[in-house]
Amino acid sequence: MRITVVGLGPGGKSGITPEARQALEACRVVAGYRGYLEQIPALIRDKEVISTGMTGELERCRLAVERALSGQEVCVVSGGDPGVYGMAGLVCQLAAEHPQLEVRVVPGVTAACAAAAALGAPLSHDFAVISLSDLLTDWDAIRRRVELAAQGDFVLCFYNPGSTRRREHLSRACGYVCKYRPAATPCGVVRDAARPGQNSRVCTLGDLLEAQGNMAETVIVGNSQTRILGGRLVTPRGYLL
Which residues are 199's β-sheet partners? 191
Q: Which of 37, 44, 114, 208 binds a copy of itself (CB under 8 A)?
A: 114
Smaller CB distance to a copy of itself: residue 210 or 224? 224
Q: Rounded distance, CA 76 to CA 17, Å?
A: 15
State how far Cα 235 lies from the chain centre. Answer: 21
204 touches a copy of itself by CB under 8 A: no
User: How far apart are CB 202 and a copy of itself at their closest, in Å?
Assistant: 12
Which residues within the stretch 28-47 sit at the binding site for a copy of itself (CB under 8 A)? none
Which residues within the stretch 43-102 sit at the binding site for a copy of itself (CB under 8 A)? 57-58, 81-86, 88-99, 101
Q: Kindly state the DSSP code that residue 13 receives in the 8-state scheme.
A: G
Give one DSSP letter per residue of 18-65, joined into a string: HHHHHHHHH-SEEEEEHHHHTT-HHHHTTSEEEEE-TT-HHHHHHHHH
Strand 155-159 versus strand 217-221 pairing type: antiparallel
User: How far apart are CB 23 and a copy of itself at their closest, in Å?
Assistant: 10
Smaller CB distance to a copy of itself: residue 98 or 167? 98
Which residues within the stretch 6-25 sit at the binding site for a copy of itself (CB under 8 A)? 7, 9-10, 13-19, 22
Q: Which of 38, 137, 182, 184 binds a copy of itself (CB under 8 A)?
A: 137
